[in-house]
């Protein structure tokens, strides 16, 4: 990049600030005056240019007046000394933000304090380097507000390293090798709001290690066994302690001061099997994530409310009634539920729950659930059937708008049960065992209110159901998904195919279904020689069927000949009868031959029996009597 690279910039408006990004451009040379014509350049990105000489970078940057942001990630600037302070001697005093990640930096020497940049630098990114210590160099950057040392080799955090950083609001030390945060190490950072210590090897955090001003805390992917330190964080608004080894949550886990606003808490992918009944006392959650643990019963644990409650992938078999009154978005997928609510037991559960309402008040109030996901509870399907209405999973969910119940073993679509859910708009019953839907069910009020219906991967076979569903889909501008069902394409379905052909002429149908919905024939009574493909598309089959019937063609498909279906039925019956007669004749012949052989064998045996008896007769006076008319004097002396 030579001096005249940006000569055109002299025609630009000098009142507009400029930002130049030349990352990953394989730059090998930048002349000292290449950027001089960019008088209002404020941000410069030269990242991922490893062959760009250090001298060229320094000379080009010094020629720019007013540069505030510089990105030198993955360059050769620090290959000589691996010390950050070497760059600070050459950079202009006005720099506010520096990104120097992926440069192999190993030290932050105290010489930084003598550089001019310490008076202006507010953000420093040193991620993906080789730092094992922060030394005393950072303490000179007293205006620093954002610091990232992510993905280095730090094993401890010493409070002396961060002394003097009173303005620091964001500190990211994630994915290092931290095994310890010194007692009180971060306590002096009185303005710290965001702290990220994820992906380390921390086994414990002391109650005095963190400043109470922290609002966003991430400790995921560590080795924590308890979270008692949370009681000291009075301003906490977002917490992530997922993927640790936590087994129990004690009473009054959070500080009483955080009740002023809703917080987000992620306890997922731990080993939690026990939660104290007062663990979340007085807390209102925007999101509470308890998924991927070992909970067998779900409650609110004295929490005031939770907009979103995630408890997927546990072993939950019982849900406290208070959950339905304090949650709006409830996720219970992949548990061991056989039912959610029993009408006879609702009042009893409320009496035993931790709610402050009386049973009469709770019974009068309706459920607050808007979204319910119970997918993957294999034994829950029976509770969705109408005959189990006394112990139904949907009783009382008057405000429910979205229902997702995949893989729960539902065998039929219970319209009477859905009819009570007047607010329901989205129903996802994919991957169940639904074998049939009556056309009148699709005209029921419970179904016509829906905006989306997913019945894919079930056992639907009747093309009349498909035609009625798509008609409902087009007429009401709703979305229906019936893909991956074993549709039976029969020649007797001319009426259904004609209706399908009319529906598919609507261009809006194609736009809304798209590639998501392309049903295939799982079986057909048309010969393979006629179709050419056993898994022919339902729409193609119906198109051919309707065209052939309308044009009275007899060669299009075997079943399209006049009275072809009856004729083939007669042929099949005749063939079956013929084969049956042949089989019976062969069996009878085999029986006759067998009897004849048996009779001949018996006669032969009877004929040979007297001779054997004579030959075996007793000898008298040296001779034997043979039969009745002969004497045998053999061996008589």
Q: Tell me the pLDDT tens digit for each residue of 180-207.
A: 988 888 988 999 999 999 999 999 998 8
Q: Which pLDDT does position 76 carry in this prediction?
A: 79
Tens digits of per-residue pLDDT, 294-320? 999 999 999 999 999 999 999 999 999
Cβ neighbour number for residue 240 with a 10 Å cutoff: 19
Domain extent at residue 586: 577-632
Q: Look at residue 382 and tell me if it is in a domain.
A: no
- Sign of the CA dihedral running 541, 543, 548, 549: positive
Mean pLDDT over 98-114 rounds to 78
Q: Look at residue 332 and tell me if it is in a domain.
A: no
User: Between 532 and 10, whose confidence is greater?
Assistant: 10
Mean pLDDT over 346-358 rounds to 42
Residue 473 near residue 500 (C-beta atoms within 8 A):
no
pLDDT at 394 over 50: yes
Q: Which pLDDT does position 624 carry in this prediction?
A: 60
Phi-psi region of 627 (alpha: psi -120 to 50; beta: other; left: phi over 0): left
Q: Look at residue 457 and tell me if it is in a domain.
A: no
Mean pLDDT over 218-224 rounds to 96
User: Between 559 and 4, whose confidence is greater?
Assistant: 4
pLDDT at 371 over 80: yes
pLDDT-derived band at 433, boundaries 50, 70, 90 = very high
Q: Look at residue 584 and tell me if it is in a domain.
A: yes
Radius of gyration of the chain (CA): 42
Number of domains in the chain: 1
Q: Look at residue 586 and tell me if it is in a domain.
A: yes
Q: Which pLDDT does position 128 carry in this prediction?
A: 94
pLDDT-derived band at 569, boundaries 50, 70, 90 = low
Tens digits of per-residue pLDDT, 28-76? 888 877 777 777 788 889 889 888 888 888 788 877 778 889 898 888 7
Q: Look at residue 513 and tell me if it is in a domain.
A: no
Residue 494 CB-half CA count within 13 A: 12
pLDDT at 97 over 70: yes
Q: Which of 180, 177, 266 is nearest to 220 (CA)?
A: 266
Mean pLDDT over 568-588 rounds to 85
Tell me the sheet residues that pair with 327: 306
Q: Which pLDDT does position 535 carry in this prediction?
A: 65
Mean pLDDT of the chain: 81
Reported in sequence order, the residue ranges of 371-516 that DSSP labels E, i.e. its strands, are 371-373, 402-404, 426-428, 452-454, 479-481, 487-489
Tokens of 506: 């609507």
Mean pLDDT over 112-127 rounds to 79
Q: Which pLDDT does position 113 carry in this prediction?
A: 59
Highest mean pLDDT among 15-24, 133-142, 215-224: 215-224
Tens digits of per-residue pLDDT, 229-251? 999 898 999 999 999 999 999 99
The whole-angstrom separation of Cα 214 and Cα 206 is 15
Q: Look at residue 603 and tell me if it is in a domain.
A: yes
User: Between 339 and 286, whose confidence is greater?
Assistant: 286
Q: Which of 230, 265, 354, 341 is nearest to 304 (CA)?
A: 354
Q: Which pLDDT does position 542 carry in this prediction?
A: 85
Phi-psi region of 123 (alpha: psi -120 to 50; beta: other; left: phi over 0): beta
pLDDT at 483 over 80: yes
Residue 439 contacts by C-beta under 8 Å, 6 or more apart in sequence? 464, 465, 468
Q: Look at residue 175 and tell me if it is in a domain.
A: no
For residue 54, report the phi and psi dihedrals to the nearest 5 degrees: -60, -40
Distance from first CA to last CA of the chain, Å, rounded? 140
pLDDT-derived band at 210, boundaries 50, 70, 90 = very high
Cβ neighbour number for residue 420 with a 10 Å cutoff: 16
Mean pLDDT over 337-366 rounds to 50
Residue percentage of the chain with pLDDT more than 70: 77
């Amino acid at each position: 990049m030579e001096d005249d690279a940006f000569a055109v910039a002299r025609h630009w408006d000098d009142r507009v600030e400029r930002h130049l990004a030349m990352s990953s451009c394989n730059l090998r040379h930048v002349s000292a005056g290449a950027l001089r014509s960019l008088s209002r350049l404020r941000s410069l990105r030269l990242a991922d240019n490893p062959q760009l000489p250090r001298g060229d970078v320094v000379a080009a940057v010094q020629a720019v007046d007013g540069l505030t942001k510089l990105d030198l990630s993955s360059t050769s600037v620090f290959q000589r000394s691996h010390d950050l302070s070497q760059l600070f001697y050459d950079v202009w005093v006005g720099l506010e933000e520096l990104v120097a990640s992926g440069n192999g930096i190993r030290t932050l020497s105290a010489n930084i304090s003598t550089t001019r940049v310490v008076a202006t630098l507010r953000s420093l990114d040193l991620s993906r380097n080789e730092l094992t210590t922060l030394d005393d160099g950072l303490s000179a950057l007293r205006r620093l507000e954002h610091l990232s040392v992510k993905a280095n080799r730090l094993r401890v955090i010493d409070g002396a390293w961060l002394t003097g950083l009173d303005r620091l609001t964001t500190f990211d030390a994630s994915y290092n090798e931290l095994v310890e945060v010194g007692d009180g190490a971060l306590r002096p950072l009185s303005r710290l709001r965001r702290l990220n210590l994820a992906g380390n090897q921390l086994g414990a955090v002391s109650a005095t290690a963190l400043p109470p001003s922290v609002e966003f805390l991430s400790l995921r992917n560590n080795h924590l066994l308890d979270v008692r330190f949370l009681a000291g964080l009075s301003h906490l608004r977002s917490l992530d302690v997922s993927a640790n080894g936590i087994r129990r949550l004690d009473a009054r886990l959070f500080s009483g001061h955080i009740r002023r606003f809703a917080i987000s808490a992620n306890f997922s992918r731990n080993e939690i099997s026990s939660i104290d009944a007062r663990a979340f006392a007085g807390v209102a959650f925007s999101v509470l994530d308890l998924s991927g643990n070992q909970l067998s019963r779900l409650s609110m644990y004295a929490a005031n409310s939770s907009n979103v409650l995630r408890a997927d992938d546990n072993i939950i078999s019982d849900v406290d009634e208070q959950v339905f009154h304090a949650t709006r978005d409830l996720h219970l997928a992949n548990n061991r539920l056989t039912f959610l609510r029993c009408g006879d037991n609702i009042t009893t559960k409320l009496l035993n729950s931790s709610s402050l309402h009386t049973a009469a008040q709770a019974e009068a109030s309706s459920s607050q659930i808007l979204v319910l996901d119970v997918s993957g509870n294999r034994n829950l399907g029976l509770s969705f059937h109408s005959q189990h209405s006394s112990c139904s999973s949907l009783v009382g969910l008057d405000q429910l708008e979205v229902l997702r119940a995949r893989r729960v073993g539902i065998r039929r679509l219970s319209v009477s049960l859905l009819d009570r859910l007047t607010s329901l708009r989205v129903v996802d019953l994919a991957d169940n065992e639904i074998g049939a839907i009556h056309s009148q069910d699709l005209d029921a009020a419970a179904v016509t209110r829906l905006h989306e219906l997913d019945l894919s991967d079930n056992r639907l076979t009747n093309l009349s159901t498909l035609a009625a569903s798509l008609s409902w889909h087009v007429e009401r501008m709703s979305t229906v998904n019936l893909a991956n069902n074993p549709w039976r394409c029969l020649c007797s379905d001319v009426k259904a195919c004609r209706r399908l052909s009319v529906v598919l002429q609507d261009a809006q149908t194609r736009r809304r279904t798209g590639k998501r919905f392309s049903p295939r024939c799982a079986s057909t009574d048309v010969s393979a020689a006629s179709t050419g493909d056993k898994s022919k598309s339902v729409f193609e089959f119906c198109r051919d069927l309707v065209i052939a019937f309308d044009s009275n063609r007899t060669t299009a498909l075997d079943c399209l000949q006049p009275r072809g279906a009856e004729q083939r039925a007669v042929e099949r019956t005749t063939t079956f009868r013929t084969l049956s007669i042949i089989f019976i004749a062969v069996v009878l012949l085999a029986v006759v031959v067998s009897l004849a052989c048996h009779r001949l064998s018996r006669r032969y045996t009877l004929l040979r029996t007297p001779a054997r008896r004579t030959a075996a007769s007793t000898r008298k006076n040296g001779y034997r009597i043979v039969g009745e008319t002969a004497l045998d004097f053999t061996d008589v002396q």
